[in-house]
Structure 1
């Protein structure tokens, strides 16, 4: 009963606008348009980054809607004061800024570093910056501190990318900027080996979101969202995704070198004394430990993904919006079609089915914490496929749907999870063909030993190799709008039912290929359908 109340609360928060300073229940979020990996507009015009994904994750666990407004940093900084935004999605916290904003709980501990060319032998610390040309981002919090250095010349830039480019081109002697951002840019520009960090870390401070000084309600909502994504593992997943290989740090290198030197000397003494007697035995032990570790890591990854989905119960919205849409369409037309017998019969048949489907989804998500094992049973593939397609008929009515499946095929699967899988794939295919003049989705199946291989293909433009490898990862999406959980859910469902799934995007073969445990019924005549 308690779980049902929680789920109803989540659904109400999805369906109803949230009270806020924002327009129509959506909070306006200002951010830098060129501050990777925190927030930036990529070459395809998509606004992305660590801060953007953090807010998308908060949206999933809280139901809060956000509208992202990329702009220059100095404009973003003043956007709340001008009434243009409700949230600045990331900035360093300082004493002066606390007089102007309320800050959320910390997203990470941010810092700045001094970056020079790897070939530079004149700058080893902050005191060596005297008389040098230094690159800084406009409105950088470290400006006052650096301007006090004797004879220093400061050049200010709109973006760190421009500043880094001038450092690489020897137009400035050093760059002082956000450690993680410059690290990310160097990886993106393949210049990680050309740059090094010198001296101590500068201006280490809490990095958080900011809201208006009097908007404590919004602050509380954001803090609750941050707590949830840190608790359920979303935060850790996003942090690993956006921050990569670190730039070499000369100070750290010296410390590591000293430790390694002592370690190697000690290890060599031990190895020389013991190598003859234990070498073969040690080799066998290492090999056994390595295999055991690999097996354990695979088990932990699987467990982590399952537990991860258990905790994001609000993703039920991703699956429940389709039946809600169908019900809304029927109810909105009833007033004008009350005398239309055919319409009322269709509504009387479809609405209860949609409600049952919502009820089934709620029960399924309520049982996730157990976790629930799929109830495997035999059923007719063609019949259940057609029953599932009916739920998204309105969404794909402009797409030509071809079905080529033997009507005698019987598969072994959980029926409710089969419907969920089909709906997710069809809605994904719908997005894939949205820019095609004559969109087509083809569903077919073939027999393969004791299995049935089910294909969902479309005539969209396909995916590149870089995207394909991440398609089943949570929160990975190439769409400007979307939270990237649909295909992750599909993969979990197929795995739970003993099947396998992979993506094909080569030439005409574009779509999903799913191998299902199945049996083929007695076949008297090959039957196919085309709709």
Structure 2
């Protein structure tokens, strides 16, 4: 009997030691340095503060993309442009996220690789045929932004009248209202503002580009190390395609450039001749080159998606670990009660038999929880298999339910439904959607998420519906875009990753909302699985 009790004690102590080590031994990462970013409060679409107080724009998204691929951390500080210009020199900020490069500025700042070429253009109404280029501006009324770089040049035109406006938005409105004959301003900014005003077809560009300058990130001349990090990040996002995606998102299709018919005909003629020559000389190697390019791009996209999913997973890891810790405390408490009573009940056979039965069961319970956690946390290649929809759904909910403090989850899913999906990726999708609903329901009085499933032919439609803050019709189409978020502290990656995962597993995802404060519905169409293959 004594020998049996000795081995039982030893087994319990070793089990407890193993569990505590596995639970509380976590890697420690060094905190990344946070770089302060100065930006213009009113320079759309490059950077601006919107009506809700969010700082957004091409420059903001570009630095977020650089942060993703380099690990750099940025703190955005929107301010007036004249303040942003001096903030780096005075040490109030580490970099300006976008500025035109000039010889005078190069004596103060170091400039990154070019983000794009900034230029100005002449804009007129589409029906205006009297202004075709710079020479036609004589005697005309021209709209300019106050302190515009082209003021001196335009003022030297014969009999010209300059109308100054506080912003390019007001100057564009002056053109649309017929207050001026033409507008001269930043090409991309006026293009963006025209789209915002639904006036993209009402105006056109005439003549050639003016004041073309390199547009780049600026840092103080004493900080070449920061410049190198930024250049490495710019090169990476240009190579992996993220830069192109952001450029299309913010600048889209340009306003038409109405050059003379002769110039158009001449350019088209040269283009056709050049294209024919190129086609004749390159036809033999085109197919092989295209295959190599597609292979490279495919690998780059796979690597980028892997990084995005890993980044998204880390955002929620601390919450999941808390859930696991909460679940493990219950079996640990049972084991602790038995071990505390053993010295007093060492001769109690019934007590020892109960301990020998209950302790292994509690250890198995902890082991199952750890396996479920590792299945989510451990990176691995996707393996699509037939899974029980209800079982895997409940398993994922269990991982996150500790953080669903004020939110009730109602599940109405047939236990006999099977789908084909990678089981760990399915957990990631469910966790993302639940935590997204949790944020949306933060201020709800009766926070509820309803999960339902319907059979539709060869598909199972899984629906997550909450009664949270919802989304406006203007914002809803952007929900699956990278870096798009309406949350104060959101990263804009979660829903993008969810869509990519579902696409990779042969499914489809859509989002519906009846408007702000009307809740959200997420529909996932998944391939039906065969129970015999599960």
TM-score range, shorter chain: 0.7 to 0.9
TM-fit CA distance, 1:110: 1.7
Question: How do residues 462-501 of structure 1 correspond to structure 2 at under 5 angstroms?
Answer: 462-501=470-509
Q: Is the 8 A contact 2:324 2:373 kept in 1?
A: no
**1:187 aligned residue:** 195
SS of aligned partner of 2:185? strand
**1:363 aligned residue:** 379
Q: 1:132 to 1:389 in 2, by over 3 A?
A: same
**1:376 aligned residue:** 385
SS of aligned partner of 2:123? strand
Q: Is the 8 A contact 1:475 1:485 kept in 2?
A: yes
TM-fit CA distance, 1:452: 3.5
**2:233 aligned residue:** 225
TM-fit CA distance, 1:262: 11
TM-fit CA distance, 1:106: 0.5
**2:243 aligned residue:** 235
TM-fit CA distance, 1:512: 1.8
Residue 30 of structure 2 corresponds to residue 16 of structure 1: yes
Q: 1:410 to 1:129 in 2, by over 3 A?
A: closer
Q: Is the 8 A contact 2:240 2:297 kept in 1?
A: no
**2:406 aligned residue:** 398
Q: In structure 1, how many angstroms separate the alpha carbons of the residues matched to 2:423 and 2:253?
A: 44
Q: Is the 8 A contact 1:113 1:201 kept in 2?
A: yes
Question: How do residues 205-354 of structure 1 correspond to structure 2 at under 5 angstroms?
Answer: 205-251=213-259, 254-257=262-265, 307-315=300-308, 316-327=310-321, 341=333
Q: In structure 1, how many angstroms separate the alpha carbons of the residues matched to 2:395 and 2:241?
A: 36
TM-fit CA distance, 1:48: 1.9
Residue 515 of structure 2 corresponds to residue 512 of structure 1: no
Point out the more displaced range, 484-493 or 498-507.
Answer: 498-507
Q: 1:314 to 1:453 in 2, by over 3 A?
A: closer
The runs of 5 or more residues in structure 1 that have no matched partner are 1-10, 20-24, 265-299, 365-371, 523-531
Point out the more displaced range, 510-519 or 412-421.
Answer: 510-519
Question: How do residues 140-179 of structure 1 correspond to structure 2 at under 5 angstroms?
Answer: 140-149=148-157, 154-179=162-187
Aligned residues: 458
Q: In structure 2, how many angstroms separate the alpha carbons of the residues matched to 1:304 and 1:328?
A: 39
Q: In structure 2, how many angstroms separate the alpha carbons of the residues matched to 1:257 and 1:314?
A: 47
SS of aligned partner of 1:376? strand
Q: Is the 8 A contact 1:324 1:354 kept in 2?
A: no
SS of aligned partner of 2:87? coil
TM-fit CA distance, 1:207: 0.8
SS of aligned partner of 1:516? strand
TM-fit CA distance, 1:94: 0.7
SS of aligned partner of 1:251? coil
Q: 1:385 to 1:360 in 2, by over 3 A?
A: closer
**1:292 aligned residue:** none
Which structure has the greater CA radius of gyration? 2
Q: Is the 8 A contact 1:320 1:358 kept in 2?
A: no
Could you give the per-residue CA deviations for residues 349-371 of structure 1, whole angstroms, max 9, x where no partner exists?
Answer: 7799569746864532xxxxxxx
Q: Is the 8 A contact 1:454 1:513 kept in 2?
A: yes
Q: 1:302 to 1:435 in 2, by over 3 A?
A: farther
Q: In structure 2, how many angstroms separate the alpha carbons of the residues matched to 1:79 and 1:152?
A: 37
Q: 1:58 to 1:510 in 2, by over 3 A?
A: same
Q: Is the 8 A contact 1:193 1:247 kept in 2?
A: yes
TM-align CA RMSD: 4.0
Could you give the per-residue CA deviations for residues 286-322 of structure 1, whole angstroms, max 9, x where no partner exists?
Answer: xxxxxxxxxxxxxx99997885252254321211232
**2:287 aligned residue:** none
Alignment equivalent of 2:451, drawn from 412, 437, 443:
443
TM-fit CA distance, 1:496: 3.1
Q: In structure 2, how many angstroms separate the alpha carbons of the residues matched to 1:305 and 1:435?
A: 42
TM-fit CA distance, 1:471: 3.1
Q: 1:521 to 1:330 in 2, by over 3 A?
A: closer
Could you give the per-residue CA deviations for residues 91-139 of structure 1, whole angstroms, max 9, x where no partner exists?
Answer: 1111111112111111112211122344555544434545655433345
TM-score scaled by length of structure 1: 0.74
Question: How do residues 105-120 of structure 1 correspond to structure 2 at under 5 angstroms?
Answer: 105-120=113-128
The runs of 5 or more residues in structure 2 that have no matched partner are 1-25, 273-292, 338-361
Point out the more displaced range, 476-485 or 381-390.
Answer: 476-485
TM-fit CA distance, 1:382: 2.5
Q: Is the 8 A contact 2:117 2:212 kept in 1?
A: yes
Question: How do residues 126-141 of structure 1 correspond to structure 2 at under 5 angstroms?
Answer: 126-129=134-137, 132-141=140-149
TM-fit CA distance, 1:404: 2.1
Q: In structure 2, how many angstroms separate the alpha carbons of the residues matched to 1:236 and 1:40?
A: 20
Q: Is the 8 A contact 1:136 1:156 kept in 2?
A: yes
Q: Is the 8 A contact 2:324 2:369 kept in 1?
A: no
Residue 79 of structure 2 corresponds to residue 71 of structure 1: yes
Q: In structure 1, how many angstroms separate the alpha carbons of the residues matched to 2:320 and 2:363?
A: 10
Q: Is the 8 A contact 1:382 1:407 kept in 2?
A: yes
Q: Is the 8 A contact 1:463 1:505 kept in 2?
A: yes
Could you give the per-residue CA deviations for residues 361-411 of structure 1, whole angstroms, max 9, x where no partner exists?
Answer: 4532xxxxxxx4523134x33332222112222332221111222334444
Residue 48 of structure 2 corresponds to residue 40 of structure 1: yes
Q: 1:347 to 1:133 in 2, by over 3 A?
A: farther
Q: In structure 2, how many angstroms separate the alpha carbons of the residues matched to 1:232 and 1:262?
A: 32
SS of aligned partner of 1:394? helix
